Amino acid sequence: MKNLFRISFLLFLLSGFVFVSCDKNKDDDNNNNTPENKTFETLKTYLIANDLDLPDVLNGWITTAENVYTVQTDSDATNDYYIIDIRSASDFSSGHIDGSVNSTFGDVLTAAANANGHTIIVVCYTGQTAAHAVVALRLSGYKDAKVMKWGMSGWNAGQDHWTPNVGDVAATSGQWEAAPGNIATNIEFGNPVIESSKTDGADILKERVQKLLSGGFSKIGGADVLADPSKYFVNNYWAEADVQHYGHIKGAYRIKPLSLEKGEYKYLSTDKTVVTYCWTGQTSSMVTAYLTVLGYSTKSLTFGANGMIHSDLKSHKWSASLAKNYPLVTK
């Protein structure tokens, strides 16, 4: 009887241990269900349901100076674009596109409220800050807002801010992986954390867009990244064939198109600053702005490959010959 009692008691203790262990594992499984992670999941669900996944936001986001000029000079004014110029007030006064309005980056949504149904074109010096603004617009109901490629540099040669910023800094840095490259293998990092008191997806998005606008253009120069790429989580936003042709920054990943719905965002580091680069810094600015809204610490590498391997580029390459001489008006 004593042995039977001892065995029963041991079984009781064992069952309690298993029960507690199961509860602990259950708690561990729910660690990703904190209020902050619930906020991210709510935002993610809202963006996907409303066709605001990153590939959707990047659909048709850019146009050319030629197209803007053609539309603006057409006799049918009902088709005109509503052009928001987010350069400084003094530069705007010195010369701008006829009919455009001046705004700061932070106030772009206020300016957009006067578009009266016209497609919005945002212009800046190079097209990079404008890309940040277009993400804010597209996530705020202006789904056809666009960037004018190359910014005012492409509109008029006298506004060229590109030529002084192209170069081959990667050639002397020792931090460029020669073609075909050795792109890093993706690993999962999980979800970014968003702190918010909001519980509705639309409200969270509105709050995050305001944070984007209040933060300004989140950027970093190519020389700064190449000085020590290991300090950052570098994402090369190119096609695989382009990486194999040109190489890439050492240690870079290639995560594209970065769909929320497909879970590709989980491959981005939640610990390091995510630096995205592309050909010109315009696409990477769009991606960076979007990731900022999602809660990542992130920066766009300015001028993209044009600032790092300009001489080697066969396409997506800035040349002063691309600048038009379309008219400017002063104010």
- Could you tell me if residue 173 is inside a domain? yes
- In the chain, how many domains are there? 2
- Could you tell me if residue 324 is inside a domain? no
Per-residue pLDDT band at 28 (split at 50, 70, 90)? very low
- Which residues is 298 bridged to in the sheet? 274
Q: In this structure, are 122 and 228 located in the same domain?
A: no
Q: Is the pLDDT of residue 22 over 50?
A: no
pLDDT of residue 34: 64
Q: In this structure, are 150 and 176 located in the same domain?
A: no
Q: In this structure, are 147 and 187 located in the same domain?
A: no
- Could you tell me if residue 13 is inside a domain? no
Q: Is the pLDDT of residue 11 over 50?
A: no
Q: In this structure, are 70 and 113 located in the same domain?
A: yes
Q: In this structure, are 129 and 181 located in the same domain?
A: no
Q: Provide the Cα torsion 276, 282, 288, 290; round to 10°.
A: -140
Host H or E run for residue 280: none
Q: In this structure, are 202 and 304 located in the same domain?
A: yes
pLDDT of residue 328: 98
For the ranges 6-20, 25-39, 147-161, 309-323, the lowest mean pLDDT is seen at 6-20
Q: In this structure, are 138 and 185 located in the same domain?
A: no
DSSP 273: P
Crossing angle of helices 201-215 and 35-49, in 10° steps, is: 100
Q: In this structure, are 153 and 225 located in the same domain?
A: no
Give the C-alpha separation, 133 to 286, whole Å. Answer: 9
Number of C-beta neighbours around residue 262 at 10 A: 11
Q: In this structure, are 239 and 277 located in the same domain?
A: yes
H helices then E strands: how many in the chain? Answer: 12, 11
Q: Is the pLDDT of residue 74 over 70?
A: yes
Give the C-alpha separation, 84 to 274, whole Å. Answer: 29
Question: pTM value?
Answer: 0.90
Q: What is the pLDDT of residues 243-298, one digit of tens each?
A: 999 999 999 999 999 999 999 999 999 999 999 999 999 999 999 999 999 999 99
- Could you tell me if residue 31 is inside a domain? no
Q: Are strands 233-236 and 274-277 parallel, antiparallel or unpaired?
A: parallel
Q: What is the pLDDT of residues 106-147, one digit of tens each?
A: 999 999 999 999 999 999 999 999 999 999 999 999 999 999
* Average pLDDT along the chain: 92
- Could you tell me if residue 174 is inside a domain? yes
- Could you tell me if residue 38 is inside a domain? no
- Identify the domain containing residue 235 by its residue range: 169-312
**∠ at Cα 72 (283, 61), nearest 5°?**
20
pLDDT of residue 215: 98
- Could you tell me if residue 15 is inside a domain? no
Number of C-beta neighbours around residue 327 at 10 A: 13
Q: In this structure, are 224 and 285 located in the same domain?
A: yes
pLDDT of residue 144: 98
Host H or E run for residue 284: helix 282-294
| CATH code where residue 236 lies | 3.40.250.10
Q: What is the DSSP string of 120-175?
A: EEEE-SSSHHHHHHHHHHHTTT-TT-EEETTTHHHHBGGG--SGGG---GGGGTS-
Give the C-alpha separation, 101 to 109, whole Å. Answer: 13
Q: In this structure, are 183 and 150 located in the same domain?
A: no
Among 126, 157, 188, identify where a domain stops. 157
